[in-house]
Amino acid sequence: MFAKILIANRGEIACRVAATARRLGVATVAVYSDADAHAAHVQACDQALHIGGAEAKDSYLQWQRIIDAARQTGAEAIHPGYGFLSENADFAQACADAGLVFIGPPPAAIRAMGLKAASKQLMGQAGVPLVPGYHGVDQDPTLLAREAEKIGYPVLIKASAGGGGKGMRLVRSADAFASALASCQREAQNSFGDAAVLIEKYVQRPRHIEMQVFADSQGHCIHLFERDCSVQRRHQKVLEEAPAPGMTDALRQRMGQAAVAAAQAVGYVGAGTVEFIVEQSERGMDFFFMEMNTRLQVEHPVTEAITGLDLVEWQLRVACGEPLPLAQDQVHIQGHAIEARICAENPERDFLPATGPLAVYRTPPAQLFTPGAVRIDSGVREGDTISPFYDPMIAKLIVHAPTRAAALAQLDKALAQLHIVGLSHNVGFLRHVVRSPSFANAVLDTALIERESAVLFGQTPVPAQVCAAFALAQHVHALALAEQPQAHAWVDPWGCRDAWAPNGVRRWQAQGEWQGQTMQVSSLGLPGQETQLRVQGAGVDWHGNWRWQASDAGLTVWLAGQRWTAQVHTLGGVMHVFTPEGAAAWCWIDPLAHQADAAATQGNLNAPMPGKVLSFAVQVGQLVSAGQALAVLEAMKMEHTIAAPIDGTVAELLYAPGDQVNEGAPLLRLEAAAA
């Protein structure tokens, strides 16, 4: 076994690799950028070296600095994690040239699988089923159009060097092919430096099922069963599970054999994933090779859960030259596992990435679950900040149970116990997906989110009156704690803010904001009677009896004969209410401050997400019309165009290209056109 390894990555995967290395007695070296000087992965390793600026191109993609860091610290091997340099054949070769072990496949295997078109030709020769399509080198537009006609519409145009959903277009008819091809080629060139494309049949109701493979340098190769990754947004995975629902033993065996054949065709060594697109029809499921990821996958924990294996340990042992620890017939499926990717993003705004502080980051308490039922892989801690420089994933929440139904229940319960305050996130959205009829009943395909949009977006599981009751209870409780007198001290009733009145009636009135709507809240306590609560606004007019009680575990509210429990976290005047049913936010409104804020932002166009200003498409004094592009922002691998909401004149540009901006920051000032 290695004495010391360098982990050429950051975040949760760097922490994950470090944990296994520590268990095996292997020392670890972290590398970090300017933005990650105090990151969790730096603390998780035995040593840490600074390698450059905040942007990945200035640090985590600077492979010579990483190799120099390994030499400087005496590391024998480099683990690339996933992303960054993990599938870079030149980096793998540079490691070998420097006398370092690259904990991954040989450079030749990475190159063979790096280009979609070339890899599919190779897989066809190895007898692996392929989606009908064109994977040739001739990129003449006329030829490509003819090939699309042969395949039959609808077809997918895909960047040959692509990934992550970039450089992909669905074309449903011949008259739309030329424009879609040009657009796809431009995006492929800009994203990957290669405009080459391939064309494939568009599979109806497709599922995304992948096989985990492992090979050693002695020529042994096995599969560790499948994962279903069909739940996606923007062609990026949201939920993954193992085993795949509806998978038969016969189909599993066929897919496993195809995956092993794919790995052996390129002389693979180490952990890899062979991804298949699966077509569902009345006759069953047919599978076709899609691509091979020559690295450890984000979703590898679900495979670990159902097999009881540590895949990072296997990576280290294979990289040391050891044979695979087990043969194919020694690996068995145990129960069902599901992984949810917890991301800093806003699902209600087309999953725009978000940045900001993790002011509250509370993970599910272990005592609420069976040992081993819930796992959190995370590279952040409460108080850390999600920056705009890297992927927006906060953590991975993995559950394991004897059956899929039990795993679903565990996942929903664990998501309810995951409290995040300080930035937008997808926890509530994930709960909606888990509870949706399609996912709950395993009616899966890659269009699930789009198909179930009515039940996934715009939902408010916590009623306004419940949220108002908890916010009021928390507010009164906080005031009481702040004004708690010392023992035997006299308290002036006129100086307290507990709604005390000399006639015994306690009355409290205020305005609040809930789900973007203004609400009126009043509480009236009469001598000898229960306190009355009334909530009005946004189509709600509710009143009923209520009482509450605070404890170390949170708040309990009895409301109109029902009992509700919650934890409330306050940040910046906003009260974030977490109940078993869902979460919501309540903000008490200061009318004067509210009006001042509105006046201050009038005429400004604000950044919808934190990021970097790439460019302005207008100049000061320029007349613009509604819908016209004004600026382009970049954050977390995404570009977003800011458009004019009204006709007007550009009065001022408040930033310059290259500047970093926070969410909500005004980018420019626009004066409305005269009526």
| Residue 133 bridge partners (DSSP) | 200
Q: Which residue is it, tokens 């995975």?
A: 237
Distance CA 62, CA 76 (A): 19
Q: In what order do the strands lie in the sheet with 629-635?
A: 638-643, 629-635, 611-616, 660-661
591: three-class secondary structure by DSSP: helix
Which residues are CB-contacts of 40 (< 8 A; sequence separation ≥ 6)? 11, 15, 378, 379, 380, 381, 384
Distance CA 664, CA 601 (A): 10
DSSP per position, 145-204: HHHHHHH-SSEEEEETT--TTTTEEEE-SGGGHHHHHHHHHHHHHHHHS---EEEEE--S
Query: Regarding beta strands 629-635 and 638-643, do their DSSP bridges make them parallel or antiparallel, or are they unpaired?
Result: antiparallel
Calculate the dihedral angle through the C-alpha atoms of 401, 403, 409, 413, rounding to the nearest 10 degrees: 10
Calculate the dihedral angle through the C-alpha atoms of 348, 351, 354, 359, rounding to the nearest 10 degrees: 60
Burial (CB < 10 A; 0-12, 13-18, 19+), residue 455, is middle
Q: Which residue is it, tokens 């030499």?
A: 71
Q: For residue 228, what are its two tokens?
A: 């279903």
| Residue 542 bridge partners (DSSP) | 535
Residue of 576, 567, 468 lying closest to 518 (CA atoms): 468
Distance CA 499, CA 509 (A): 10
Residue of 421, 358, 353, 344 lying closest to 585 (CA atoms): 421
Instruction: Give the CA angle between residues 314, 317, 320 to the nearest 5°.
Output: 145
Which residues are CB-contacts of 233 (< 8 A; sequence separation ≥ 6)? 347, 351, 449
Q: Which residue is it, tokens 């590279």?
A: 379
Catalytic residue at 295? yes
DSSP per position, 543-560: EEEEEEEEETTEEEEEET
**Of 227, 295, 317, 341, catalytic:** 295
Phi, psi of 12 (to 5 degrees): -65, -35
Distance linking the first and last C-alpha atoms of the chain:
76
Instruction: Give the CA angle between residues 155, 160, 161 to the nearest 5°.
Output: 140
Q: Which residue is it, tokens 């078993």?
A: 580
Residue 149: half-sphere exposure toward Cβ, Cα within 13 Å: 9
Distances (CA, A) of 289 to 113, 120, 268, 303: 12, 8, 16, 20
Distance CA 523, CA 588 (A): 14
380: three-class secondary structure by DSSP: coil
- Burial call 456-488: b when 16+ CB within 10 Å, e when fewer: beeeeebbbbbbbbbbbbbbbeeeeeeeeeeee
Residue of 374, 328, 336, 330 lying closest to 246 (CA atoms): 336
Region of 371 (left: φ > 0; alpha: ψ -120 to 50; beta: rest) is beta
Active site residues: 295
